[in-house]
């Protein structure tokens, strides 16, 4: 297999028709794709089957992934489900690779203890306009209109510098915010669970429906094999995770995997689809999406 590292966060692996894949640098993504990433970095040491495709892989911040996917890039990509709602007429949600569950929601943080959003002029930082984190904040705090979008890794430092009143925290920061002297104002995931009684759908893989069902199915099989192999031997995925992680402590990385990688990541299933339908309906009620998500299920879409 041929491997070319054309940029610090871009890799190529395999032979055959090219699939341009975008994933985030989040540990649950690098864990799930670790076998593919390791094969691209060290092709001579890997026997991983790339399914007859050349995989062009880019690892990016989730907001940049959303923006580029909306701009028409990528054949398939990890995206926030908020962004997926805006692309539902041209993509299908794949059954593998999703992040959803109970107790996994974004956290609303503040530098002040016991602070709550109360006035419109209080500034809240969010990790991207089309992230599910921003959608949840809009759903549960509709009167908080002073929202600024920044890269997720800048949110906690900005709160520490008192540059904003609140910040919606995602990724590894949920495990380390207390060490940074920050306080929990609200758990947006808990608010979702109390309102819906469903697992919270954060993000998942979507693929452009210009691809044939056979291509979609073959891509799903490669991704699922990588994911299941990593689940059987989690420690073997750590090198791939460390290469791109914001937090380098292995225990934090594995906490992240334990929280966001589960049976729904292997197969979204009917429970996951129902949760996404609920998210879509709630988003429509506040004008944040109108199209119905479609789910790839083998030779058909639902």
Q: Is 252 exposed, middle or buried (0-12, 13-18, 19+ CB in 10 A)?
A: middle
Helix 132-140 / helix 188-196 crossing angle, nearest 10 deg: 70
Q: How many CB atoms are located within 10 Å of the residue 287 CB?
A: 8
Alpha helices in 261-300 (DSSP H): 263-266, 269-285
Strands (E) in 8-48, as ranges, are 10-14, 18-24
Q: Binding site annotation covers 30?
A: no
- Looking from the CA of 237 toward its CB, the CA atoms found within 13 Å total 28
Q: Shortest CA distance to 138 belongs to which of 298, 10, 288? A: 288
Catalytic residue (one of 130, 134, 171, 256): 171
Whether 265 has a binding-site annotation, put simply, is: no
Residue 63 contacts residue 128 (beta carbons within 8 Å): yes
Would residue 171 show up in a list of annotated catalytic residues for this protein?
Answer: yes
* Feature table: binding site for substrate: 132-133
Q: Which residues are catalytic?
A: 171
* Feature table: binding site: 132-133
């Amino acid at each position: 297999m041929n491997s070319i590292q054309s940029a610090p966060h871009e890799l190529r692996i395999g032979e055959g028709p090219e699939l341009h894949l975008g994933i985030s640098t989040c540990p649950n993504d690098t864990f799930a794709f670790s076998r593919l990433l390791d094969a691209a970095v060290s092709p001579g040491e890997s026997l991983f089957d790339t399914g007859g495709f050349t995989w062009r892989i880019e690892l990016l911040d989730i907001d940049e992934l959303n923006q580029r996917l909306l701009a028409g890039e990528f054949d398939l990509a990890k995206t926030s489900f908020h962004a997926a709602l805006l692309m539902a007429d041209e993509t299908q949600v794949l059954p593998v690779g999703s992040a959803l569950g109970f107790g996994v929601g974004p956290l609303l943080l503040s530098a002040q203890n016991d602070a709550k959003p109360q006035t419109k002029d209080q500034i809240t930082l969010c990790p991207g306009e089309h992230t599910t984190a921003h959608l949840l904040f809009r759903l549960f705090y509709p009167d908080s209109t002073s929202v600024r979008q920044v890269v997720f890794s800048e949110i906690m430092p900005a709160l520490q510098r008192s540059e904003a009143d609140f910040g919606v925290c995602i990724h590894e920061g949920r495990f380390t915010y207390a060490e940074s002297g920050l306080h929990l104002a609200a758990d947006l995931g808990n608010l979702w669970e109390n309102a819906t009684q469903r697992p919270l759908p954060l993000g998942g893989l979507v693929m452009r429906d210009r691809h044939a069902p056979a291509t979609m199915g073959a891509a799903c099989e490669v991704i699922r094999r990588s994911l299941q192999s990593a689940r059987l031997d989690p420690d073997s995925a750590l090198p791939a995770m460390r290469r791109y992680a914001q937090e380098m402590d292995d225990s934090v990385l594995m906490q992240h995997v334990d929280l966001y990688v589960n049976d729904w990541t292997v197969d979204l299933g009917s429970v996951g689809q129902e949760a996404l339908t609920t998210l879509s309906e709630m988003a429509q009620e506040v004008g944040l999406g109108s199209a119905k998500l479609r789910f790839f299920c083998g030779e058909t879409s639902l």
